[in-house]
Each structure stands twice: as C-alpha cells, then as structure tokens.
Structure 1
Amino acid sequence: SLNDQISLIPPIPKSERKVDGPRKRRKVLTIRPTKESRPEQVLPTGKKGRSSLVSVPLKKKEAHPGHVPQPPSATKGKVSHATKPTTKQEAPEVKVSPHINSVTPSNLREEKMKFFKSQFTYNPQFQYSTPDPPSVPPEYRTASGEFLDLAIAIIEKTLKRYGSYERFQDNAGGRPLQEHEIATAVQRHLQKEGCSGEMKVCITKDTLCIASMAIVNGRGMLTINASTARERWLEGTLCHEIGTHYYRSMNNMKQPWWQERKKYGMRPVNPTEEGFATLNTVLLRDQPYLCRAALLYYAAYKASSLSFSELFKDLSAYVKDPDTLWYICMKVKSGLTDTSQPGCNSKCQVYLQGVLQLLRYRQTIDFQLLMALGKISFEDVGRLKRIAVSKGARMPYFLRDKREYMRRLEHIMKVNGITDDALKKLIDS
C-alpha cells in the first residue's frame, strides 16, 4: 500500500542479530482475541452495532520509531491462532492498492546486514519463500525516461527548499507518531468519513509498506506501518488508502464491468489509480511536494542500467540516510534475485506518471465521476459513463467540493514548478 513519504529502515541493533527460533509474525485481527491469544488494544468506534477493530499490540518495551520491520518467516502461509478462519471457505483477499503487492525477500535482514557490513558495495542475493521464484511482470521490466527531467527538477526543487531529503521528512512530515497516536488519528479519520463500522485497522511494525488496503471477506482491512507514520503526513496516507483505493474499490463493485473488464475493453487501472491516490496524498498539505513520487521514478529509471550497489551510490546524491537509500533500492529492485545485474521493477514509476497525466487533463476530467465509477482509467470515463452506476457512490470528504479540489491541484502544480506548457510538450508530443 503509498503515501508521500519514504519508509526508514534503520540499522539492525546488535541485540537483534542473533535470534533463537522463528520470529513472531504480526497479528492481523479479524476476530476479537481469545483468552489464549495475546491481548490487543481495541478502540471502540463510539457507535452501537458493528465497530472497526483498531488493533495495537501491547508493548513490553517502547520501540524506537524507526524499528526494522521483520521479513516474512519460513512459516509464511500458515494461519496463526488469532486469525484462524471460523468457516471452511472464505472469500479470497482482494488487494485494493496495487502498489503494495511486491514480494518481500525471506532473507531480507541477512542481506541487509551483508550490504551494510560491506560499506555498501555488496549486491544482495535475494531469496523468496514463494513456491516459484517471483519475477517482474513484463510490462514493468523496462523503465521509461519520458518524465525524467521533470522528476529531477521536482527533487532538486524540494531539496533546495529544505536543504536535504532528511530535513524534508522531518520538517514537512513532522515527528514520528506512537502507536496510540496513530490509532486515535485513524479513528478520527474513519468517523469523519462515516465508515467506522465497516473497516478493520491493524497497526504494526512488521511490514515494509507505508500502508496497505485490502478487501477481506467483503470488509476493508487497512494496515498502517507504525515505523513510518508522521504527524503531518498520516492524514495524507489515509486519503491515499481509504479516500482513493478503498472508495474506488467499493464503487467499482456496483459497476457492470466489475470482474468483466475485458468485455468492455477497459484500459489498465494504472497509472490513473496510483496517480489519483498520490495527488490525494499531498492534496491537503501546505507544501505538497511530489518528491517521493519523483524520486521513485528516477530510481526505477536508473535501476534498469545499474546494480543494487551502483544504484545506492547514484541515489546518494539526493538522499544521505543509508536506511532510506536501502528502502528505495529495495522498492525498485523488487522481485529480482541477483541484484548485481541491471534490472528494475518500474511499477514505481506509475505514481508520477499518473499524477502528470491527471494534471495535464485536469480541466476536462470530472474527478468526482472518476471516483464514483470505481477502478477505471480517466481515459475510459467518457466512453463508459452512460452505462455506469453513480448513484450512491462513496465520495471522500476532500473531494466533495469540486472548486476547492481544483484549487488545490493548481497549488500542487505551483509548488512543484509544473506548468501547462511543460505538460503539453511531454504528454501531447
């Protein structure tokens, strides 16, 4: 699951380098804990009837806000006692935010240790716990340089404003949040949107994603990474995951093309889906820099011709923190095994690509209709709106005022130095 901040994966403390036995996996609450399971903090919604479960594991010791998420263990696929299904058959999990589907290596911690010990010269050899080695989908094996110059300009504009990427995170994003603060903010957002009783929320450190959204048995499941949540950026993360991915998914289920996209000749949902979500991530910020999207675009382009260690060195011109650099390299090398070879997962480019397409045609796009019609490319809206079901569509609070939404899009362009002339040359040519 993206929002506009970079996950920080700090160096592994010495006390954690030797582990006896398998690591404990995170628990995603789908039912209330039994007497035998570990107690959880469950925050009520304040409404009678169904309530959303905001689960925060009780802590024995206060963790550093940059705690290293644990990679999947060798027991991946087994159902823990706390999440054991109560019926023989359950509906499959439907991913709502497609950017979080990247495979996490099973030897992530070990390879990170080798990389850091080598002074960033070792090229990780990743292993995966999946039955068959993962591979990057054909459409994401080649990176584009179409918007490279603009991506670099956005990065440099951000760094000029804040001095460094690290200061950008600290000053623009604010302080890291504790788990109870995240839980409170999430509950407040759910109540504002009027969807408290339909979603489960898991707050964990055992994930490499900033956040993710899925539909499990017809109900929303939001996972928030407690290691990356920041005071002034969390609301944008929720607008990304709930206000875009979740609402578009729920609206999509009402459409005639739900599960029949080929029949209607529909275009791929990306880059519109992630571009829309990225715009909504930064929409409410005073300084809505698109630096993260631009950085991922640039990194994917470079990864196509560089090894892991070479990419790490190249990106250090913009980012100084080794853990942030590690995360970016991991993101754009996702699904690869031998990172000594050039290669990329260019899915990371859809954030900026989608943003620029939507901004280019913003004057002719009905963004409320784009939300109401569900998982649809902006290019298909005009052709399919006659048969679409828009009555009763879910609409996030930040999109209910069309004029204000358009004003904020103009502000995003101004802050990032994006002009209509530049967009026309890049996209129309």
Structure 2
Amino acid sequence: MDAFFASDFKEAPQFTYSYPEEQVTKAFKDNSEVCFDYLPEARRIMDKVRHSPGGVDAFMKTMYGEEKVSSEELRDLVADYLKEHNVEDKVEIRIVEGMLSAANVVKPSPDKKYIVNIAKGMISKPIIHSICDHEVGTHLLRMMNDEHQVWHGFRDRYKLANPWTTEEGFATLNT
C-alpha cells in the first residue's frame, strides 16, 4: 500500500488477503464476469443526466434532495424496521467511519449476530427508507432465510450460483 500512496494514487494498490490464494483466485474468477449487454442503455442514461438542465448537480439535487438526516436518525429508522420484521434480536446496528456506501449488512461468523453497518455522517433524507428496503428488506432477510434452506453452506453441492448477482438486482428494484 505504501507504493499506492507514494504514487499519489496512480499505481494500483496491492492487497494481501487473509484467505488462501486459491480461494481468493476462485472468488475473483466467480465474480469477475462482466456483462456488457446493457452498456448502451447505461450510456444513454448517463448522457441524459449530463445534458439535462443544470447538469449532474441539478439532477443529484432533484434525485436526493437537500434535506439530510444524521447516521443516528438512520440507525433509529433501521431499528424500527427490524422491529417491524421481528428480527431486532438477531441484528446489531453499528455506525462506522469511512464506509463507501450508506449502509451494508454482514454476518461475521455463523455464531454471531448479523450486523447492519451505517455510514457515519449525513445521509439524504429522501433515500433513507429505500436504504432500509435495500439492505434489510432484501439482503438481510435473504441471508436469514438462506440459513433455513437445505443448501445452506453447500451451494456448490446443489449447483446453485452465487446469489449476489440476482439479489443485488432485486435489492435495487426494492429500493
């Protein structure tokens, strides 16, 4: 990482993973297939945003609004959302510095609670319910449901694909 920082972020960072090299290689291979089928549509959308009146800034203002809420307010909303779904006792909510997204869901190990991480800082108010629908209503509930399925921990044995591709698409629709 020293070379990455010393190069003023021009040299690609080199990471050392805590998993065996063959497991890391397989994970990258399994998750690195890029589909370009929708690239023309994505370009059309991006061009439309760039050329809309006021440009990207006006679009973002319209899309996300100017009103913000604190990470503590989002935490409280997530807690209420968990209660509505009767899973509050299975989840810990943390406010975390330096996140790249507003929130995410993880389960550190089979014997631990799920964790909903929330980015420390201000978050656009119009999207906070969508964050709950996306992270809790899709990712968390799918993860919890998966633990009750015969294939849990044995997806390869049942020739099941990685659920993340389909799930992320569904989570986006559920946002």
Could you state the TM-score of these two structures normalised by the residue count of structure 1?
0.34
Aligned residue for 1:252?
146
Say which structure is richer in strand: 2
Match of 1:165 in 2: 56
Separation (CA, whole Å) in 2 of partners of 1:157 and 1:259:
44
Change (3 A) 1:256 1:241: same
Matched residue, 1:110? 5
Between the aligned partners of 1:152 and 1:211, the Cα distance in structure 2 is: 27
- Per the alignment, residue 98 of structure 2 pairs with 206
Instruction: Check whether the contact 1:213–1:223 (CA below 8 A) recurs between aligned residues.
Output: yes
Q: Give the direction of change, closer, same or farther, for the CA distance of 1:247–1:211 in structure 2 (3 Å limit).
A: same
Aligned residue in 2 for 1:66? none
Which residue of structure 2 aligns with residue 242 of structure 1?
136
**Deviation of 1:274 (Å):** 0.9
- Deviation larger for 132-141 or 258-267: 132-141
Instruction: Give the total of aligned pairs.
Output: 168
CA RMSD of aligned residues (A): 3.1
In structure 2, the residue matched to 1:274 is 168
Once residues 190 and 268 of structure 1 are traced to their aligned partners in structure 2, the CA distance between those partners, rounded to angstroms, is 26
Q: Is the 1:159–1:165 Cα contact (8 Å) retained in structure 2?
A: yes
Judged with a 3 Å threshold, the aligned counterparts in structure 2 of structure 1 residues 165 and 227 are, in CA distance, closer, same or farther, namely: farther
The answer on whether the counterparts of 1:176 and 1:231 sit within 8 Å (CA) in structure 2 is yes
Could you tell me which residue of structure 2 aligns to residue 193 of structure 1?
A: 85
Letter paired with 2:76: T
Q: Any gaps of 5 or more consecutive residues in structure 1?
A: 1-105, 116-122, 282-429
Which residue of structure 2 lines up, in the alignment, with residue 150 of structure 1? 41
Residue 128 (structure 1) aligns with: 15
After superposition, the C-alpha distances for 1:110-142 in whole angstroms (9 at most, x for unaligned) are: 369x25xxxxxxx23313354688767124445
How far apart are 1:225 and its partner, in Å? 1.1
For the pair shown, the structure with the greater C-alpha radius of gyration is 1
145, 158, 164: which one aligns with 1:264: 158
Q: Distance in 2 between matches of 1:189 and 1:249?
A: 16
The farther-off stretch of 132-141 and 237-246 is 132-141
What is the rounded CA distance, in whole Å, between the counterparts of 2:74 and 2:3 in structure 1?
Answer: 27
Given the alignment, which residue of 73, 88, 106 partners 1:181? 73
Unaligned residue ranges in structure 2 (runs of 5+) = none
Alignment of 1:59-74 (within 5 A): none
How many angstroms does 1:195 deviate by?
A: 2.7
Q: CA deviation at 1:231?
A: 0.9
Q: CA deviation at 1:271?
A: 2.0
